[in-house]
Each structure stands twice: as structure tokens, then as C-alpha cells.
């Protein structure tokens, strides 16, 4: 897709999101703005409680052409605590907690993801794992750590190269290939009882996007109808 067409589609999605916010009574308590970049919704503002934000995430995810929903919304007056795993030299937001194996200007915590994530249970609201999983021979322990440290209703945002795009194999440090269908088994309870609820799992020509909520207190496992929205 050309850049000019992508920009036009983003502007069209912004108009649709603005119309949704103006006319859907379920969103009346929210004070937010929605900007799109490459099909990713960037939401900023405030919400009185987590349920209001959850409704917005769901409705935006139902819009055609939306690849992911990334929000930085104050809930009940509190800013979210967001962790950026494997951030390297660039965090997704300046206020995120950047974690990487090598120190650098964007890194707040130096740690090797193979050894776990050094945060307390249910202590963060969102996690970004942007171009991380494909570098790990076994990424399931890391996903278990993300499940552990996310609060109920928190979101794990994953980006990874789509296995059929050249980017997946062009980097010799990539050791895993992923597809939308890769995430299907994560949304069923494993032997440890861990399970994820798919908020949105999709892809474009180059990248797989997954927004996942840990199934724990207050979050039901996804049913077949939910799974059928994203997976074969």
C-alpha cells in the first residue's frame, strides 16, 4: 500500500472514530481524542473508570482497517504504568518504562528478558513487545511473565514480522516466524492455566499485531465466537 493511500485511510478512520465518540452514548463519559498512524489507533485523554476505556477499545477494534488500539488514557485521574520490553534506543512513549539487556538513553531498567521481567505481580497496566518475540527461541516464558505483571484488564501489545514477508527472514537475529494463527493457542488455557483474551489480532502486508488481555480476575476466557473473529 502506498504511503499516500495509507495516510488517506488513517484520516478516514479518524473521522469514523470521531463520529463514534460523538454519537455512541456508551462513550459519553470519555474525554479522549483518537489519532491513527498506519492503521494503529492512538488514544489519549481521560476516562472515569476502566470499564469505559474497555468499551472504547472494543468498539475501535471492530472498525474495519484498525490494526491495533494503543491508548494512553488517565483512568480515574491516574496515569497508566506502561512497560516497553526490549526498547533499544526508542520507546513507544517517553513516559514508558524502558527495559533492555543493554543500557542506553531510552533504557530505565537493564535486564535480560530470558531471566524474566523484574516487576511485581499485577503492577503494570500495559506492556509493549515491539519486534521482540521473533528474537527469542522460546518466548512462552516471557509471555507468562507478561501475564503475571499485568493488572486485570491490562493489555499486552505485540508487533512482530509476518512470516511471509521478507522482513521476517532478512534479519539473521530472527529465530522465530509468527502469524496471526500463532496467537490462537495463547487464547486457550495452557497446562499452567494461563490464557489470553484477544482484544484484536490482525496483520497488514508486513506485520502481525496482537492486543491481548490476560485472563484473570474479572476476565472470562474467550469463547468460540470470539476466537472465530480472528482465527481459523
Contact assessment for residue 52 and residue 66, using Cβ atoms and an 8 Å cutoff? no
DSSP secondary structure string for all residues of 9-44: HHHHHHHHHHHHHHH-GGGTT-EEEEEEETTEEEEE
CATH topology of domain 1-76: 3.30.1340
CA pseudo-torsion sign 151, 35, 53, 184: negative
Tens-of-pLDDT digits for all 232 residues of the chain? 899 999 999 999 999 999 999 999 999 999 999 999 999 999 999 999 999 999 999 999 999 999 999 999 999 999 999 999 999 999 999 999 999 999 999 999 999 999 999 999 999 999 999 999 999 999 999 999 999 999 999 999 999 999 999 999 999 999 999 999 999 999 998 877 899 999 999 999 999 999 999 999 878 899 999 999 999 9
In order, the DSSP letters of 205-228 are SSEEEEEEEE--TT-PPP-HHHHH
Question: What does the block give as the cell for 92?
Answer: 513507544
Fold that domain 80-232 belongs to in CATH: Rossmann fold (3.40.50)
CB distance 127 to 150 below 8 Å = yes
Q: Where are the domains of the chain?
A: 1-76, 80-232
CB 166 within 8 A of CB 134: no
- SS3 for 75-98 is ECCECCCEEEECCCCCCCCCCCEE
- Cell numbers of 66, please? 484498525
Burial string for 14-43 (b: 16+ CB within 10 Å, else e) reads eebbeebbeeeeebeebebebebeebbbbb
The greatest distance separating any two alpha carbons of the chain, rounded to the nearest whole angstrom, comes to: 50
191 CB neighbour count, 10 Å cutoff: 5
Q: Which three cell numbers stand for residue 59?
A: 468498539
Task: Please tell me whether the overall predicted TM-score, pTM, comes out greater than 0.85 for this model.
Answer: yes
Amino acid at each position: 500500500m502506498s504511503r499516500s493511500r495509507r495516510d488517506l485511510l488513517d484520516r478516514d478512520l479518524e473521522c469514523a472514530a470521531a463520529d463514534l465518540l460523538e454519537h455512541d452514548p456508551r462513550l459519553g463519559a470519555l474525554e479522549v481524542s483518537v489519532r491513527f498512524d498506519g492503521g494503529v489507533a492512538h488514544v489519549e485523554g481521560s476516562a472515569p473508570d476502566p470499564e469505559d476505556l474497555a468499551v472504547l477499545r472494543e468498539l475501535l477494534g471492530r472498525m474495519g482497517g484498525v490494526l491495533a488500539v494503543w491508548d494512553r488514557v488517565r483512568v480515574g485521574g491516574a496515569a497508566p504504568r506502561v512497560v516497553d520490553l526490549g526498547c533499544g534506543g526508542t520507546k513507544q512513549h517517553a513516559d514508558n518504562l524502558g527495559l533492555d539487556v543493554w543500557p542506553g538513553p531510552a533504557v530505565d531498567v537493564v535486564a535480560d528478558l530470558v531471566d524474566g521481567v523484574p516487576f511485581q505481580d499485577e503492577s503494570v497496566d500495559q506492556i509493549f513487545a515491539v519486534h521482540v518475540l521473533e528474537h527469542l527461541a522460546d518466548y512462552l516464558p516471557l509471555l507468562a511473565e507478561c501475564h503475571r505483571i499485568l493488572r486485570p484488564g491490562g493489555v499486552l501489545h505485540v508487533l512482530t514480522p509476518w512470516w511471509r514477508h521478507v522482513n521476517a527472514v532478512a534479519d539473521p537475529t530472527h529465530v522465530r516466524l509468527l502469524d496471526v494463527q500463532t496467537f490462537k493457542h495463547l487464547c486457550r488455557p495452557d497446562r499452567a492455566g494461563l490464557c489470553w483474551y484477544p482484544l484484536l489480532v490482525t496483520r497488514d502486508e508486513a506485520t502481525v499485531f496482537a492486543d491481548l488481555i490476560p485472563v484473570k480476575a474479572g476476565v472470562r476466557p474467550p469463547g468460540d465466537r470470539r476466537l472465530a473473529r480472528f482465527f481459523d
